[in-house]
Amino acid sequence: MDVLKAQDPARIGAHTLLARLGAGGMGQVYLGRSPGGRLVAIKVIRDEIVDHPEALTRFRREVETVRAVRSAYTANLIDASLDTAPYWLATEYVPGPTLGGAIRERGPLPSDSARSLFAALAEALATVHGYGVTHRDLKPQNVILSPQGPLLIDFGIARGAADTALTQTGFAPGTPGYTAPEVLISNQVGSATDMFALGAMLAYVVTGRPPFGSGPTHAVSYRVVHEDIDVGGVEPDLAELIQDCVAKDPARRPGPAEVITRCAVTSVLAEDPFYVRLTSDIEAVPQDLPAARAAGLVPPGHGAPTPPEDAPTVGPGYVPTALPGYVPTFVPPAPTAVPGRRRSRRTPWVVALAVAVVVGTGTAVTLKMLEDNGTGGTGGGSSSSESPTASAVPHKVPEYILNDRVSLDRWTLSTEPAEAVHGIGKCAQVGAVSAPKELQYAVDDLDDPDSATVVRRARITFRFKYAEIEDKKPAPYYVSVGVKPPHEIDADTGKPYEVMMESKNVGYTSKPVDIYEHWKEGGFVELTYPDDFQGHFSASKGEAAIPVVNDPGDWTAVIYHVKSSPTDYESIGCTGFRVGSS
């Protein structure tokens, strides 16, 4: 819980603000007090994304989902405003740590306690699925441990059975390590997607370790698709249940009813001594404005006096969320089939994050990256900075980035003639992270910008949108671009091997450059392939980049944020271009 800042309002709708609870991908979350004296968690969508239709659609979907799903395992909707900015929703405030925070502080649960928690979460999912809703971002940070039992929060990317996918360009929904293989590969989402996340969470609860290890997002995602979950040291029957829940084929995963049966719970979770220990350190919460001021959460003189607002406009009266002494046994009737659930038992060979249309040759693309932190409180998250700071800048910028890893990022030209004629394609990107601002980039033929293909030289341009409106030049943010041909290249010939193999490395890279190089005039950084690129496959001198004509086909260009060393970099964007006929 944090102090309100000068820019924070004194009220949201009819609710008086008492503190900050944190920040998530969609906006700021506050602790508030309703006119009737009830504590609420208020999520306010960020000002800078209110003009993005996809963000507003996602937020409206969250409101509708929270309104529709009324359960002992969810925080109920109290109020919302969806007509004009600021857009916000208020849910009942439930004190308690997140599952992730509790395990991090207290360590893993013993098997019997884990089974009780697992059964409760399975019933929570059964209830949500009974409303025809898939959560899609189930993870330890999105589970609140109240004294009476767990609650699911943050339905920001949830969707109903009849809804279409809603994701950011180039991204799969969810969190690495808890996102199912079918989502990573083709964005196929169904109730089995949540069961995968449930199994991954149980592995974390009983081991205290990330279910598929740690490291870069692309590495974790690769393990999700190709490797086994970490259940080292777990009791055999519990390990088997976890492994069944995270089966690569969604059709082989058990449903909530089977999970509850196999957990065979006979005791009350809220009375389990280990669960009680996890929920014992609940932070003291101010009940009104004087108490918040006394606690230093509301600075003196904060907020101009405002007249009382209308009473809450949506959300019925209080519905108790706690069921003391309850043992999970109930599973509601299964909803109608959710489109997209895979029935194939074939394990995929290649991992690729959700494919989304991005723009290739001759056209620019704007990519707004929204990061969902979701830690702490009902709907809360960890506070985050909106722009790079000086402390994030490496003391010495590396001269190059080393081609030291597998890269499965892949751009392909669209199969739709109306798109292909303009060089539009799709980028399947693995392991991208959020950029601090809106990233704009484009690729075209340097000699013929109107061409849908590249003949000799590709021009790659990029910038952060609206950087020029800053009062002063932002701290440097170094970027390198990796351009890779369709196939692995024989270093002796500069052409593909006789037996062609798909390129799975970073490719030829540019010297890191500050993306704010042309900050004041709002200009783009411009690079030319092959002139500005080399292949750094070892720490020795770089190799010359091959001509594009050596390997006709779909080339991929990945934008990397470069940090403190040649091996310290991560992808923030992806595009590409076609060499040869379209």
* Residues above pLDDT 90, as percent of the chain: 41
pLDDT digits (tens, 9 = 90+) for 231-268: 999 999 999 999 999 999 999 999 999 999 999 998 89
Q: Is 137 one of the annotated active-site residues of the chain?
A: yes
Q: What are the structure tokens assigned to 56, written together?
A: 């507003």
Instruction: Identify whether residues 261 and 137 lie together within a single domain.
Output: yes
Instruction: Identify whether residues 269 and 172 lie together within a single domain.
Output: yes
Name 105's Cβ contacts closer than 8 Å, sequence gap at least 6. 97, 281
Q: Specify if 238 maps to a domain.
A: yes
Q: How many structural domains does the chain have?
A: 3
Q: For residue 530, say if its preceding peptide bond is cis, omega within 30 degrees of 0.
A: yes
Q: Specify if 280 maps to a domain.
A: no
Q: Specify if 329 maps to a domain.
A: no
pLDDT over threshold 70, residue 352: no
Q: Specify if 323 maps to a domain.
A: no
Q: With CA atoms as reference, report the closest residue to 29 among 287, 269, 376.
A: 376
Q: Specify if 81 maps to a domain.
A: yes
Q: With CA atoms as reference, report the closest residue to 371 among 90, 118, 157, 53.
A: 157
pLDDT over threshold 60, residue 365: no
- At residue 42, the pLDDT reads 92
Q: How many CB atoms lie within 10 A of CB 232?
A: 9
Instruction: Identify whether residues 196 and 103 lie together within a single domain.
Output: yes
Q: What are phi and psi of 466, to 5 degrees?
A: 65, 15
Q: What are the structure tokens assigned to 39, written together?
A: 């504590």
Q: Specify if 506 maps to a domain.
A: yes
Instruction: Identify whether residues 488 and 412 lie together within a single domain.
Output: yes
pLDDT over threshold 50, residue 372: no
Which residue is associated with the tokens 């411009």? 526
Instruction: Identify whether residues 27 and 147 lie together within a single domain.
Output: no
Q: What is the CATH number of the domain that holds 208?
A: 1.10.510.10
pLDDT over threshold 70, residue 389: no
* CA-to-CA dists, residue 227 to 219, 278, 348, 429, angstroms: 11, 31, 12, 19
DSSP-derived letter for residue 550 is G
Instruction: Identify whether residues 81 and 139 lie together within a single domain.
Output: no
Q: With CA atoms as reference, report the closest residue to 287 among 18, 61, 558.
A: 18
Task: Provide the domain limits for residue 209.
Answer: 99-154+167-275
Q: Specify if 259 maps to a domain.
A: yes
Query: Which of the residues 8, 79, 83, 137 is marked catalytic?
Result: 137
Instruction: Identify whether residues 466 and 543 lie together within a single domain.
Output: yes
Q: What is the CATH number of the domain that holds 35?
A: 3.30.200.20
Instruction: Identify whether residues 104 and 65 lie together within a single domain.
Output: no
pLDDT digits (tens, 9 = 90+) for 93-136: 988 899 999 999 899 999 999 999 999 999 989 988 887 778 87
Instruction: Identify whether residues 110 and 75 lie together within a single domain.
Output: no
CA distance 240 to 232: 12
Helix (H) or strand (E) holding 276: helix 273-278
Contact indicator for 30, 79 with CB cutoff of 8 Å: no
Instruction: Identify whether residues 73 and 138 lie together within a single domain.
Output: no
Instruction: Identify whether residues 47 and 127 lie together within a single domain.
Output: no
Q: Specify if 55 maps to a domain.
A: yes
Task: Output the pTM of the full model.
Answer: 0.52
Give the sign of the dihedral formed by CA 398, CA 402, CA 405, CA 410: positive
CA distance 1 to 346: 47
Instruction: Identify whether residues 37 and 136 lie together within a single domain.
Output: no
What is the average pLDDT score of the chain? 79
- Average pLDDT over every residue of 124-149: 86
Of the three residues 275, 308, 342, the one that is the final residue of a domain is 275
